[in-house]
Chain A
Amino acid sequence: MDPIDLKKLDPDFKHRLARELGGEQIKKCFSCGVCSARCPIEKIEPEYNPRRIIRMILLGMEEELLKEEFLWHCSTCYTCQESCPQEVDFTEVIFVLRNMAVRKGLAPAGLGAARNLLDQQGRMYEIGDFENEKRKEMGLPEIKGNAKDYRELLKD
């Protein structure tokens, strides 16, 4: 493996990430590895390794990191975050990284679908007449499933 030149990495990456909501504590990490040891995903997919992800952030390996598919494999169980002695909110950091990847157009295909659904109907699952009929049968109140304002709200 060719050595990576530290000077070619982006030392500002960690500072930028720390300015994002949820990323504030990132620089506190002292690489103890509790996050990785407790991560359930890491047990199945060792490539997803919180300690190493943080290390990549601190060293400024933005370009390589944001492309990684494994960023999307976190199950957001918050175990890492709750057991971190240095109070790094790593689950939140994952969200920040994903947001950053999205901004660079690096989100996995298909993720935009969720947003489109919300744009259109304000819900992940459409509630139409069929659904309301079923609800009625069960004695449950009707739900008016149209939220016109979401499209406006989510306008860039």
Chain B
Amino acid sequence: MKYAFFLGCTVPVRNLNYELSARWVARELGLELVDLEDFQCCGFPLKSLNLLDSLVVAARNLALAEQAGLPVCTLCSACGGFLSEANSHLQHNHDLKSQVNDRLKVSGLEYKGTIQVKHFIRILYEEIGIERIRERITRPLYGFSFAPHYGCHYIKPARTAGGIDPVEDPKSLTELIEVTGAKALRYETLLDCCGGSVLGIKEDLANTLAGNKLSEVNRLGGNGLVLICPFCNVMFENQQKKIEKKLEQKLKVPVLYYSQLLGLALGTDPDTLGFKLNRIKDKEFLTGFERRD
């Protein structure tokens, strides 16, 4: 299993904990992630401004992966979603493809439409599989519970997301949490959006969205909110202080990446998984977990 590793813009600068833990988990499970030097922004930030421009940028990245002969693995759901979407548009629309390829000529690249894009979590779920992960769990996280947050672009739009999960009732992350031995919480706002896309336009609106979910997760208790996208992380972790202020309520909802959770269950220590970089940690969970050994 070998993938071109698409980090996107946010992860390699702002979410090193996600990158660290994902690389560690991948290595541990025999998933080879290859860094391609020329990968840049996926193109999604341009979609609102000029759809064609955004597709050109996406196609550039896809063409690079094609050159390397590797399918793409993304950590960010927005990157994964948008690269898949571009792939689908270009594979099905011949005129669009030639239009985009015309523009790609300045980079000396050609998009052919031969490779697939998959989110890291989807690779864990579909390629490695729950059973193989189960076999590798050495330190099950019994007694702890987490609220999964799927995020929007991981499963939607269903047409281009590849149907990994039924959009009204997604299961993959829930099962992946449960295979670690921890309990995955069911909650009303499970499908709610983080609001990340509106943050730059109307912060208050974005905070209200994220706040709804954080309040519920706070009421639920448990050991934190499990994420799989750095965009969502911006809202739930970085904005949490501001949201607390807005809601006039202490939230203190610990936020962590799924790869960090899995890493612990696979037997490594929090430091290797970048837990030091998590801003809101569940100390009880981390200490409680360490004390078990």
Q: How large, as a class, is the contact surface on chain A?
A: 35 or more
A19 → chain B closest CB, angstroms: 12
Could you tell me if B157 and A95 are in contact, using CB atoms closer than 8 angstroms? no
**In the complex, which residues of chain B have a beta carbon less than 8 angstroms from the beta carbon of A115?**
46, 49, 53
CA distance A66 to B48 in the complex (A): 13
Contacts A73-B198, A98-B49; A122 near B40 (Cβ below 8 A): yes
Could you tell me if B156 and A78 are in contact, using CB atoms closer than 8 angstroms? yes
**In the complex, which residues of chain B have a beta carbon less than 8 angstroms from the beta carbon of A122?**
40-41
CA distance A98 to B48 in the complex (A): 6
* Chain B 176-208: CB-based contact to A (< 8 A → 1; otherwise 0): 000000000000000111111110111001101
Contacts A77-B152, A125-B14, A140-B19; A111 near B49 (Cβ below 8 A): yes
* Contact among A40, A45, A134 with B16 in the assembled complex (CB-CB below 8 Å): A134
**In the complex, which residues of chain B have a beta carbon less than 8 angstroms from the beta carbon of A74?**
197-198
Could you tell me if B208 and A44 are in contact, using CB atoms closer than 8 angstroms? yes
Could you tell me if A79 and B48 are in contact, using CB atoms closer than 8 angstroms? no
In the complex, chain B residues 5-55 whose Cβ is within 8 Å of any chain A Cβ: 7, 9-10, 12-14, 16, 19-20, 23, 35, 37-38, 40-41, 45-51, 53
CA distance A96 to B193 in the complex (A): 21
Could you tell me if B46 and A44 are in contact, using CB atoms closer than 8 angstroms? no
Does B209 interact with chain A (Cβ within 8 Å)? yes
**In the complex, which residues of chain A have a beta carbon less than 8 angstroms from the beta carbon of B93?**
21
Could you tell me if A77 and B193 are in contact, using CB atoms closer than 8 angstroms? yes
CA distance A143 to B50 in the complex (A): 27
Could you tell me if B57 and A77 are in contact, using CB atoms closer than 8 angstroms? no
Which of B100-108, B236-244, B247-255 sits within the interface?
B100-108
Does A32 interact with chain B (Cβ within 8 Å)? no
B40 → chain A closest CB, angstroms: 4
Q: What total count of A-B pairs have CB within 8 Å?
A: 150
CA distance A31 to B208 in the complex (A): 27
**In the complex, which residues of chain A have a beta carbon less than 8 angstroms from the beta carbon of B51?**
20-22, 95-96, 99
* Contact among B23, B38, B56 with A147 in the assembled complex (CB-CB below 8 Å): B38
Could you tell me if A21 and B89 are in contact, using CB atoms closer than 8 angstroms? yes
Does A41 interact with chain B (Cβ within 8 Å)? yes
CA distance A111 to B53 in the complex (A): 15
In the complex, chain B residues 142-171 whose Cβ is within 8 Å of any chain A Cβ: 152-153, 156-158, 167-168
Does B60 interact with chain A (Cβ within 8 Å)? yes
CA distance A41 to B197 in the complex (A): 11
CA distance A44 to B208 in the complex (A): 8
B217 → chain A closest CB, angstroms: 16
A85 → chain B closest CB, angstroms: 14
Q: How large, as a class, is the contact surface on chain B?
A: 35 or more
Could you tell me if B167 and A75 are in contact, using CB atoms closer than 8 angstroms? no
Contacts A44-B209, A108-B201, A138-B274; A153 near B57 (Cβ below 8 A): yes
Does B130 interact with chain A (Cβ within 8 Å)? no
**In the complex, which residues of chain A have a beta carbon less than 8 angstroms from the beta carbon of B192?**
40
B24 → chain A closest CB, angstroms: 10
Contacts A21-B96, A125-B9; A141 near B35 (Cβ below 8 A): yes
B86 → chain A closest CB, angstroms: 11
Contacts A149-B107, A150-B57; A75 near B10 (Cβ below 8 A): no
Could you tell me if A135 and B193 are in contact, using CB atoms closer than 8 angstroms? no
* Chain B residue nearest to A113 in the complex (CB): B200
A60 → chain B closest CB, angstroms: 22
B203 → chain A closest CB, angstroms: 12
Does A64 interact with chain B (Cβ within 8 Å)? no
Sorted nearest first, the 4 A-B pairs with minimum C-beta distance are: A77-B193, A122-B40, A78-B156, A124-B9
Chain A residues with CB under 8 Å of chain B are 20-22, 40-41, 44-45, 72-79, 81-82, 89, 91-92, 95-96, 98-99, 102, 107-108, 110-112, 114-115, 118, 122-127, 131, 134-135, 138-141, 143-144, 147, 149-150, 152-155
* 6 CB < 8 A contacts A-B: A98-B48, A115-B53, A118-B45, A118-B57, A124-B9, A154-B53
Task: Add 13 more A-B contacts to A76-B153, A149-B107 (CB < 8 A).
Answer: A72-B198, A95-B48, A98-B48, A99-B48, A99-B49, A108-B201, A111-B48, A111-B201, A118-B45, A123-B41, A135-B16, A143-B12, A153-B56
